[in-house]
Structures are given as C-alpha cells and as structure tokens.
Amino acid sequence: MLRTPTGGAGHGTAATVERAMSIGTVLLRLRDEFPEVTISKIRFLESEGLVEPERTPSGYRKFCPADVERLAQVLRMQRDHYLPLRVIREHLDGLERGEKASLPPGGGQGASGGTSWDQDNGRATAVRIGRSELLAAAEVSEEQLGEWESYGLVVAAAGGSYDAEAVTVARLVAQLGRFGLEPRHLRAVKAAAEREAGLVEQVVAPLRRHRNPQTRVHAEATAKELADLSVRLHAALVQTALRAVFH
C-alpha cells in the first residue's frame, strides 16, 4: 500500500510511489493470467472485503503488490476450486494470521467440474454459490440473469444457490448475446441438450440404481464420458453443417 516515507530523500519516495498502482494498472497485471477479469470485478471483490486498497485524499484507489497478489489468489481459488467468496476470505485471513489453514474442498476446472466428494454418503455433491457471486463471476447484470432464468437457461437450486455449470452457462449466453443471439433464440439449444441428457440417463440408469457404491461411482464416470462424446459429436455436426453453408 502507499506509505509515507519516514526518512531518506526522494529515493524512497519514488520507490513507494512506483509500487502504488491504480486499478487500471492492476487490471493489466492480472489479465495475463485472468483474461476475463474486469475493473467491475475488482471493485466487487473489494466491496466483499477480499482486498482493501488504500485511498488517496481524493478517493482514488491505490493498490500495493500485496493487494495484487491477494487478488490473484482469490481469482485462482474461484477458477480452480470454485469456492464461495466468504470461504476464500476466511481462508486468506487465516493465512495472514499465521494459521495453517488447508484449502477447503471444492470443485472447479481441475477438480471434478464443480463437485466435492461426500464420504459419508458415498456420492458427489455440488459446490454452490450465491446470486451475487454468480453475477460477479459471469459479469452480468441482475436484469440479464432474470431474463435467462425466465427462459430456463440458468436455473437456481431450491435455496436460491447456483452450481458451477450455471456460471458457465451464464458466461456463454452473455458471449452469444454480443452477436445478437437472444435467450429466445437459445431455447432450441436448451431443448437439444435436454434430449442428449435424456439419452445419457437411459444408458446409466441401471448403474445408478445399483446398491453397490462403486457401481454408482462408475455410473457417474460413464455419464461424464458419454456427455463429453455427445458434446464433441454435436460440435462436429455443427461444423459439418456450416461447411455445407460456406462451400
């Protein structure tokens, strides 16, 4: 953070000023690893108490290298473990106090696609986040999310929480929207996905009903493999159809 030097001449002052960064500079430093981060996301993380930059007398934020590293840690834990912001804040605060806190279990791109393992029940459980965290992670407005929910593109759980797939869907719908595709245009895509999921369900249903926990685990792995093959087939068929259009 920006500190007033206690001694020495302009050398220390220049070094201190150089270390103090504006929010725009912080954005540039983070974007190499996190290309989707925005200034609004940084401000949101600040409002949630994840980082506390100093303020100039005129109100401008001034970030120090430690602030940037903390933001990077927050973004990594969101991306790789998909932990709620409250859990991330508690974890980082514990580390700063010198506590040896292990990272809570979570799901993400590198960990079972948004699930954790329930040892007592022998099954996978979804890692969920709140509405404000979904809005921040997908970088969409409340109005947009409400419209997507009205079309069934994004679906909340009974308690109003969301899983990792909801964030992925929200991000993709937002990106398609930049090309003029509206939620009403995507109903056919959703219907096709539900039909594909139904086919997968038919294949794995006997395994899911089995009393052996290992067989049920095998059912989940089989469903994921079938889903991956289905997505790849869908992509290949779309490319084939487009090739016919442009040739």
Query: Is 9 a residue whose pLDDT tops 50?
Result: no
CATH 1.10.1660.10 residue window(s) in the chain:
10-96
Model confidence pLDDT, tens digit, residues 110-130:
333 344 433 333 333 456 788
Query: Is 32 a residue whose pLDDT tops 80?
Result: yes
Query: Is 144 a residue whose pLDDT tops 80?
Result: yes
DSSP tally for the chain: helices H, then strands E: 10, 4
Query: Is 162 a residue whose pLDDT tops 60?
Result: yes
Q: Across all residues in the chain, what is the average pLDDT?
A: 79
Phi-psi map region of 133: left, alpha, beta (phi>0 left; psi -120 to 50 alpha): alpha
pLDDT attached to residue 2:
39
pLDDT attached to residue 164:
78
CA distance to 56, 77, 165, 187, 193, per residue, from 128 (Å): 37, 14, 10, 25, 22
10-96: CATH topology is Multidrug-efflux Transporter Regulator; Chain: A; Domain 2 (1.10.1660)
pLDDT attached to residue 68:
94
CA distance to 3, 18, 81, 246, per residue, from 55 (Å): 11, 16, 31, 55
Model confidence pTM above 0.75: no
Residues constituting the chain: 247
CA distance to 2, 5, 47, 63, per residue, from 56 (Å): 9, 15, 17, 11
Model confidence pLDDT, tens digit, residues 49-69:
899 999 888 888 899 999 999
Q: How confident is the model at residue 36 (pLDDT cuts 50, 70, 90)?
A: confident
